[in-house]
Structure 1
Amino acid sequence: MSLIIFPAIDLKGGQVVRLAEGDMDRATIYGNDPAAQAMLFAQAGAQHLHCVDLDGAFAGRAVNAEAVESIVKTFPGHVQLGGGIRDRAAIERWFDLGVSRVVIGTAALENPDLVREAARDFPGGIVVAVDARDGMVATKGWADVSTVSIIDMAHRFEDAGVAALLFTDVGRDGLLKGCNVEATVDLARSTDIPVIASGGVAGVSDIHMLAIHAKDGIEGVITGRALYDGRLDLATALEIAAKG
């Protein structure tokens, strides 16, 4: 099975940004037309997109809804969305608007029944975010760190029917330090749920390494800053991922 490449569009104040280590005060702006950015990724061959409503992650509700809607209308492939999705109404609203998958993080820790019910009612549509600081789950836009380990969090949803676990090493996100392949592979091997890697992708070598471990249960990888800074060519990444 080939690795899925998810180019990232992170939204803050309607603009396309990337944060360093999840810090809203360390945002780099890459554009003010999210839909146009989505089309650039599509033209390079992307069939999947990962969007995050950063303001929503802190507010606990949709803040950049207009920008997300424009992306969904424009992008011809699958859009995966996270950020502030914490109740049933929000989940249903995004599916109704054409989002393919919703990513639930904070609510997965605080209200696991919400995830279980949604995974049952929207097969293949629910992704659980397992964001980690030093191996522990971080929530509320990574502002809070829990006492739950990422492995324990994964096991809580083993039988829930979630589509994937989205694992981010917060300490590497947006810093181009290289993806934490070892921790991602360890998580994938410890659960039956497919794992999506995120955080710190620096270039082609990260894609190579993750593609090699696709057989261990790594479904895909999210990359943002490396694409925007020109350190990673999307077409090349897609080619490597397809070869496995």
Structure 2
Amino acid sequence: MILYPAIDLKDGQAVRLLRGDMEASTVFNDDPAAQAQAFVEAGCAWLHLVDLNGAFAGRPVNADAVEAILASVDVPAQLGGGIRDMATIEAWLEKGLARVILGTVAVENPALVREAAAAFPGQVAVGIDARKGRVATKGWAEETDVTATDLARSFEDAGVAAIIYTDIDRDGAMGGPNVPATEALARAVEIPVIASGGVSSLADLEALKATGVIAGAISGRALYDGALDLRAALAALG
């Protein structure tokens, strides 16, 4: 199981939100590239980046910070937030991103996900953010009637590289991930599922790994707060 340290970008800084609330943000590093380097030095094999402003604006906003990160590290990185058309997907992949994450458009324009996954095999993931099992879009500001499982299944034959499943109510709350819901989703589809939201301890990672079906986990606040030691976590998952 791969551990993805998260760097959430807001106004050019590395922050964490509480349950997706842009007004409840904590700045952890005003130099995201330095933060990325610290994670890489600790041994991570991937980075998970989110353009929070972009998720609300519907277009890239923290591009400078993302490009600085890509220039400063040599591990693959995936990015979500504000990626809603083919031109933006192509531009990011050309700049060195290993994988783009499509969230809102997965609900509003699923044909784009299929087109992108076909054009860029292995480089397109679907971000499914859910509150009480229902998918939320536009930076979690709008809730839909679509269930996470139904959305995931709809891309089963599209060739997407991964599904990143976030339980919004757990995100940034340090209360542990929703292991049963994540495991159920992973068992419902053949696409690799990455858990996000609430991963805050070594025990959380071990519980996710113990399911035997979850491909990865994303952690942010716990790494910044020191509740989870990245080197120790990577060694345990090794």
Give yes or no for contact 1:128–1:166 (8 Å, CA) kept in 2: yes
Name stretches of at least 5 consecutive residues in structure 2 with no aligned partner.
none
Amino acid at match of 2:149: I
Shift of 1:86: 0.2
Instruction: Please report the TM-score for the alignment, with normalisation by the length of structure 2.
Output: 0.99
Amino acid at match of 2:80: G
Q: Does 1:23 align with 2:24?
A: no
Deviations 1:199-218 (A, max 9, x none): 011211011111112x32x1
Counterpart CA distance in 2 for 1:77 and 1:107 is: 27
Q: Which residue among 226, 229, 237 is the counterpart of 1:233?
A: 229
Amino acid at match of 2:52: L
Deviations 1:148-171 (A, max 9, x none): 001100111000000010000000
Shift of 1:5: 0.5
Question: What corresponds to 1:74 in structure 2?
Answer: 72
Question: What corresponds to 2:220 in structure 1?
Answer: 224
Give yes or no for contact 1:108–1:128 (8 Å, CA) kept in 2: yes
Identity %: 57
Amino acid at match of 1:166: I
Question: What corresponds to 1:165 in structure 2?
Answer: 163
Question: What corresponds to 2:186 in structure 1?
Answer: 188
Deviations 1:83-121 (A, max 9, x none): 010000000000000000000000010001100011011
Amino acid at match of 1:20: L
Instruction: Please report the TM-score for the alignment, with normalisation by the length of structure 1.
Output: 0.97
Give yes or no for contact 1:133–1:170 (8 Å, CA) kept in 2: yes
Give yes or no for contact 1:47–1:76 (8 Å, CA) kept in 2: no
Question: What corresponds to 1:146 in structure 2?
Answer: 144
Shift of 1:32: 0.6
Question: What corresponds to 1:206 in structure 2?
Answer: 204
Q: Describe how 1:85-104 pairs up with structure 2 within 5 A.
A: 85-104=83-102
User: What is the DSSP-based 3-state SS (H/G/I as helix, E as strand, rest coil) of the residue aligned with 1:179?
Assistant: coil
Question: What corresponds to 1:39 in structure 2?
Answer: 37
Counterpart CA distance in 1 for 2:201 and 2:150 is: 30
Shift of 1:196: 0.3
Q: How many pairs were matched up?
A: 238
Counterpart CA distance in 2 for 1:240 and 1:104 is: 30
Q: Describe how 1:115-154 pairs up with structure 2 within 5 A.
A: 115-154=113-152
Name stretches of at least 5 consecutive residues in structure 1 with no aligned partner.
none
Amino acid at match of 1:206: D
Q: Aligned-residue CA RMSD in angstroms?
A: 0.6
